[in-house]
């Protein structure tokens, strides 16, 4: 089962807390006049405090969405690589990885790898590594 990292879990908790505060403010129409944590006084202009709270919550939402996206990609990366390279053929015999695995079940390991199924499988693995190096 997929599980977020600790950083993403903390960010999710912060986002949910801030969303609860925003929901409370939205339902009661009670905008704060002072934000003591950062020393901000918004008593003169109520609309500025609303936009400030919206900007902070938007920041946390965008940061959480980006981290979540990258963690999902990292989680599914082996599947993505497998799907994109399943039809990759070796350079000598033209076998795919599935063909090589089937053929390896039928024959034993040989010392000389060039022109063999095992050599072809090594060639495919090298192409996969070269294809996804950044």
pLDDT of residue 115: 63
- Report yes or no: 128 and 85 within 8 Å, Cβ to Cβ: yes
Same-domain check for residues 17 and 68 = yes
Residue 15 falls inside a structural domain:
yes
Give, in order, the Cα–Cα distances in Å from 28 to each of 8, 23, 32: 30, 9, 11
Q: Is the model's pTM score more than 0.75?
A: no
92 within domain boundaries? no
Instruction: Give the model confidence (pLDDT) of 62-89 as tens digits.
Output: 999 999 999 988 888 888 887 887 777 7
- Residue range of the domain that includes 127: 97-131
**pLDDT > 50? residue 34:** yes
Please give the tally of structural domains in the chain: 2
Beta bridge partners of 96: 89
Q: Per residue in 84-113, pLDDT tens?
A: 877 777 777 777 777 777 776 665 554 456
Same-domain pairing of 14 and 69: yes
């Amino acid at each position: 089962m997929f599980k977020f990292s600790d950083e993403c879990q903390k960010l999710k908790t912060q986002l949910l807390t801030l969303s609860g505060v925003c929901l409370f403010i939205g339902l009661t129409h009670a905008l704060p006049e002072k934000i003591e944590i950062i020393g901000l006084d918004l008593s003169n202009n109520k609309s500025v405090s609303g936009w400030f709270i919206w900007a902070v919550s938007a920041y946390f939402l965008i940061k959480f969405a980006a981290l979540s996206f990258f963690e999902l990609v990292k989680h599914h990366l082996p599947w993505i690589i497998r799907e994109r390279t399943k039809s990759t053929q070796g350079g000598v015999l033209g076998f795919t990885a599935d063909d090589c695995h089937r053929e390896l079940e039928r024959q034993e390991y040989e010392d000389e790898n060039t022109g063999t199924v095992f050599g072809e499988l090594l060639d495919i693995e090298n192409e996969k590594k070269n294809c996804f190096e950044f």
